[in-house]
Structure 1
């Protein structure tokens, strides 16, 4: 990093010199034009028109006789990388299986559609506009999907009730996460994308990390539902009650942690959430031991209990992201200072009395 002194010229205009090495590497000479971008997180970026035009938003891929699963992987990778348009070329034509693979991607990824198709070429484009996307709202939706899956899977496990199949909602969770992941990737490469989203880079990272954890919460809910489908019967009433109690607290751990990240709860909630996670850990360990010692409990319940433990861990990870955010933004220091001031006032009142 280099430093430059800001100077003024006639009329009070502020100026700063450019590093010579950078100017030469970019082909900048006296009289050349550069683009200036101001960003939401306080950055001022200088960019030559040539470098701005080299950003890759379109790619052409030759798929030939590739396996349909590989075509699907390529399209998902291009979506995650933030590309706007992908042209798939198959000189010998597409098979029905390859066409179905493309259709699955367009059906399962938000904003993706086929805009042109011939016998040897298919163009897939993402129509999303960052200015119309709310990452924080998408995280809220992902939380709702993941926790509704968790709630219904636990009901199926402990009472034998049946609800919606988990696969459909797990696909919805995957779709939401994929969209958030896409904008995180684009935000790493394009500062104008950050501005369009209305977020700073640390805020986007925190939301992306939260989405990552929630997607795994949904996966574990699906796993619990699968265990429920395979049980020979309902668990013993006392075991079911213990599972229900733990599941409610695990649900609260995840929900409260997300509230901290999206700004609906304060840093004190993050601390309490981490304390609740520790308590849940101990209770899960105790119930796991109880299942082992009972001898007649269905061994598959331990798999569900393991998913509950992992769900609590993912909730705790989100709470830790919230604490990190609080440290970065100064909220943790303010909270501590407020507590110290209150304690000092209380001590002074006691001494006066």
Structure 2
């Protein structure tokens, strides 16, 4: 890093000279026009036209006949922030290829099939960053993941005919993918940061919390799978133990997300970390009881292991909240 002195010209305008090495490496000469980005996090960035992501290709092409490649490439294009993708194959597109395009598009917010021909299909992503709220999407993702967890724990008492997760895992994936796309565009295009209304550290923390919430939802679904495998549901103290720990784990997620988004004070993140640790200790105690209960409790161990992993993931969400607190300079103290 180097420093430059701020000077004034005749009309009172402030000026700062550009480093010669940087200007030459970017092909900038006197008379050229550069873009200035004044960000809400106090950064003033200089960007050449060649470096602006807005001038980069907004469209992509997929030339593959393999449905798995098409699906993954479409998801990658969405995450990378492209606006349009065309899928082309040698010869006519098969029904299987068209189905994977439609299925992938349905799994992403704002993505839809815009045009079709015998040999090509084009999808467009119509998302305006100024209308996207990363914080609200994270709150909704947290709510959906917690509802999956709550229903999975309750299914231990009486396994339902259908999975307690239902289609909500798809909603988790849709919300997570939109957050990832927004953060990716913010990292690549400086103007996107202001359009999203968040600083770059805040966007990264939201992305980190999203990743942990996605894992939390995945493991919560395992509790439902364990419930479906039970020959007989637990009763009395075992069931209440699962419910109590489950409520604690979900409260940890609420507090972790709240602090990450600036809704709750730092103390909430500290308390959430402690609560996650205490939840794991209660699960350890419950596991020791299962060991003494003999083979009849074998199926419950699967559910207990899954519940423990959700407690670990919840603790990771709370840690993201602590990261925001530490970055802001607020002290993290023990409760008095």
After TM superposition, list the pairs within 5 Å mapping 1:69-148 onto structure 2: 69-148=68-147
Q: Distance in 1 between matches of 2:164 and 2:318?
A: 29
- Structure-2 residue corresponding to 1:293: 292
Q: Distance in 1 between matches of 2:255 and 2:48?
A: 45
Q: Distance in 1 between matches of 2:49 and 2:233?
A: 67
Structure 1: which 5+ residue stretches go unaligned?
Answer: 344-353
- The answer to whether the Cα contact below 8 Å between 1:158 and 1:244 also exists between their aligned partners in 2 is no
After TM superposition, list the pairs within 5 Å mapping 1:159-178 onto structure 2: 159-160=158-159, 165-178=164-177
Could you give the per-residue CA deviations for residues 62-99 of structure 1, whole angstroms, max 9, x where no partner exists?
11x32x12211110111111111111111311111000
- Structure-2 residue corresponding to 1:328: 327
The structural deviation recorded for 1:116 is 1.3
Could you tell me the TM-score, scaled by structure 1's length?
0.90
Q: Distance in 1 between matches of 2:274 and 2:300?
A: 25
Q: Distance in 2 between matches of 1:160 and 1:23?
A: 66
Report SS of the residue matched to 2:155.
helix
Q: Distance in 2 between matches of 1:251 and 1:25?
A: 52
Q: Would the alpha carbon gap of residues 257 and 297 (structure 1) be closer, same or farther in structure 2, given more than 3 Å must change?
A: farther
- Structure-2 residue corresponding to 1:273: 272
Report SS of the residue matched to 1:46.
strand
Identify the range of structure 1 (195-204 vs 25-34) with the bigger mean alpha-carbon deviation.
25-34
Could you give the per-residue CA deviations for residues 123-169 of structure 1, whole angstroms, max 9, x where no partner exists?
11110111001111101111111111111111111344567641411
- Structure-1 residue corresponding to 2:60: 59
Highest Rg: 1 or 2?
Answer: 1
- The answer to whether the Cα contact below 8 Å between 1:235 and 1:297 also exists between their aligned partners in 2 is no
The structural deviation recorded for 1:48 is 2.3
- The answer to whether the Cα contact below 8 Å between 1:156 and 1:163 also exists between their aligned partners in 2 is no
Q: Distance in 2 between matches of 1:297 and 1:262?
A: 44
Q: Distance in 1 between matches of 2:150 and 2:162?
A: 10
Could you give the per-residue CA deviations for residues 298-331 of structure 1, whole angstroms, max 9, x where no partner exists?
3222121112111111111121111111111123
Q: Distance in 1 between matches of 2:162 and 2:135?
A: 28
Q: Would the alpha carbon gap of residues 161 and 102 (structure 1) be closer, same or farther in structure 2, given more than 3 Å must change?
A: closer
- How many residue pairs match? The answer is 335
- Structure-2 residue corresponding to 1:246: 245
Is 1:215 equivalent to 2:214 in the alignment? yes
The structural deviation recorded for 1:54 is 4.0
- Structure-1 residue corresponding to 2:7: 7
Structure 2: which 5+ residue stretches go unaligned?
Answer: none
Q: Distance in 1 between matches of 2:242 and 2:175?
A: 29
Identify the range of structure 1 (140-149 vs 258-267) with the bigger mean alpha-carbon deviation.
258-267
- Structure-2 residue corresponding to 1:27: 27
Could you tell me the TM-score, scaled by structure 2's length?
0.94
- Structure-1 residue corresponding to 2:185: 186
Q: Distance in 2 between matches of 1:77 and 1:197?
A: 21
Instruction: Compute the RMSD of aligned alpha carbons.
Output: 1.9
- Structure-2 residue corresponding to 1:346: none
- The answer to whether the Cα contact below 8 Å between 2:152 and 2:164 also exists between their aligned partners in 1 is no
The structural deviation recorded for 1:175 is 0.8
Q: Distance in 1 between matches of 2:9 and 2:291?
A: 80
- The answer to whether the Cα contact below 8 Å between 1:213 and 1:317 also exists between their aligned partners in 2 is yes
Could you give the per-residue CA deviations for residues 236-263 of structure 1, whole angstroms, max 9, x where no partner exists?
4221122122112112111222222222
- The answer to whether the Cα contact below 8 Å between 1:156 and 1:162 also exists between their aligned partners in 2 is no
Q: Distance in 2 between matches of 1:73 and 1:165?
A: 27
Q: As a proportion of its length, which structure holds more helix? A: 1
The structural deviation recorded for 1:270 is 1.1
The structural deviation recorded for 1:268 is 0.9
Is 1:45 equivalent to 2:45 in the alignment? yes
